[in-house]
Structure 1
Amino acid sequence: MKKSILILFFLTFYIATYACEVCERNQPKVLRGIVHGAGPESNWDYVSIGITAIIAVFTLIYSIKWLIKPNENNADHIKYSIFKID
């Protein structure tokens, strides 16, 4: 039962990720078959998406970097206030 529900879920998700025929026809060649809805109205849409993607990648890289090695070695750091035994 769980296996059939899982297969149905992934099959539905797979079908929903591709564009329908009308959306595919209205999209530019680069995005054809990938996305639904109206296509980009100008080249500035591509620029804004590119800048947003770059910011998201940098944010991901630095958040992973600082989670792995935070470099908070200062003795006055707030995290050390809970370690003090009075």
Structure 2
Amino acid sequence: MKKQFVILIVLMLLNKFMWACEVCEQQQPKITQGITHGTGPQSNWDWVIIGVVAALTLVTLILSIKYLIKPGEKNGNHIKQTILTNFEDAR
């Protein structure tokens, strides 16, 4: 119970810093208002960079989950099998 209380307090304190302040909110374009600090993207190239980075991050996340769940290696000595075996033992 004490651990949950501490986590709740920490999350409540972090909430203040997670969202943009009023000054930063006015400097942002509508799509990012309220969620980021500082000035928004200055040109269309900034949006291209943001899109490419977001796409790469999403692809990386999907592939890492895919290869963690189904490693494709049938050899029992492969490092991926060691990770999966330890995960199943922990359950």
- Is TM > 0.5 for Structure 1 vs Structure 2? yes
Instruction: Give the deviation of 1:58 after TM superposition.
Output: 1.0
Higher relative contact order (CA 8 A, sep 6+): 1
The answer for unaligned runs of 5 or more in structure 2 is: 79-91
Distance 1:71 1:42, change over 3 A: same
Counterpart CA distance in 2 for 1:3 and 1:59 is 32
Distance 1:62 1:34 in 2: 27
Percent identical:
46
Residue aligned with 1:30, SS? helix
In the alignment, structure 1 residue 29 sits paired with structure 2 residue 30: yes
Count, aligned residues: 76
What does 1:1-86 correspond to in 2, within 5 Å? 2-73=3-74, 79=78
Q: 1:30 to 1:69 in 2, by over 3 A?
A: same
Structure ID, larger Rg? 1
Q: Deviations over 1:37-74 (max 9, x none)?
A: 1211111111111111111111111111111112224x
Segments of structure 1 that go 5 or more residues without pairing to the other structure are: 80-86
Shift of 1:8: 2.1
